[in-house]
Structure 1
């Protein structure tokens, strides 16, 4: 089982949306999507987990590593819509206690509202099997 991803550019930030299960076998694909976001956007990356069914310890570690990778480029990582089943595996205090703090938002709308008023063009890319309607 793997993930599908979509990357959308908003003014001053990007949204990397995931669908599926972020397990060890999907980590390489996730790292590639993070690389795509690094190469094509600016500002923080909001990792939209609305379509994520869950994640393994390896998936959570990959998210933490992505935060470090983005921080090394002067960019932040924020989470939106962490799956309810995924909160049990979050480090104490969410991701704030890791090597790089990761803000956690209840949903994508809340995350975007935190960055609103930058207002121009949006662009989006997705992997081939991204679910329709999303």
Structure 2
């Protein structure tokens, strides 16, 4: 099994939804998709992972690499809904490089530009 991803911009915020299993065979697909999303947006990218069934160590590392790439461009990554995913020490050591939200609604409430 691999991943599928989609892009939307609710309330002016870039959201990349990822579903399936982010294993070593899906890292390139994820990285290419993330690059596409990052190139077509500005500001924070919300990575919505509530439909992700799991990830390998390589998949987890790809998410952390995406966060690092955005940080280099003075942007940030917010991960939405990762509570069901098994995290390794790598994740817990690097989670400070991104913001983690319980779900997409919480992330949008915090990250969407104010309208007035």
TM-score with structure 2 length normalisation?
0.87
In the TM superposition, what are the counterparts of 1:40-79 in structure 2 within 5 Å? 40-79=40-79
Partner of 1:89: 88
Q: Let me know the Cα RMSD of the aligned residues.
A: 1.8
**Which of the pair has the greater relative contact order for Cα pairs under 8 Å at 6+ separation?**
1
C-alpha change, 1:42 and 1:12, in structure 2 (3 Å) is farther
Q: In the alignment, is the contact (CA less than 8 A) between 1:50 and 1:82 conserved in 2?
A: yes
Q: Gaps spanning 5+ residues in structure 1: where?
A: 120-134
- Structure 2 unaligned runs (5+)? none
What per-residue deviation string (whole Å, max 9, x for no partner) do you get for residues 73-92 of structure 1?
221101000041x2442633
Query: Would you say 1:116 and 2:112 are equivalent positions?
Result: yes
Residue 5 of structure 1, CA deviation: 0.2
Q: Distance in 2 between matches of 1:75 and 1:60?
A: 20
Contact 2:13 2:112 in 1 (8 A): no
Most deviating of 86-95 and 75-84: 86-95
Which structure shows the higher helix fraction?
2
Structure 2: distance between partners of 1:16 and 1:111: 12
State the secondary structure of the residue aligned to 1:75. coil
2:4 match: secondary structure: strand
Q: TM-score, normalised by structure 1?
A: 0.76
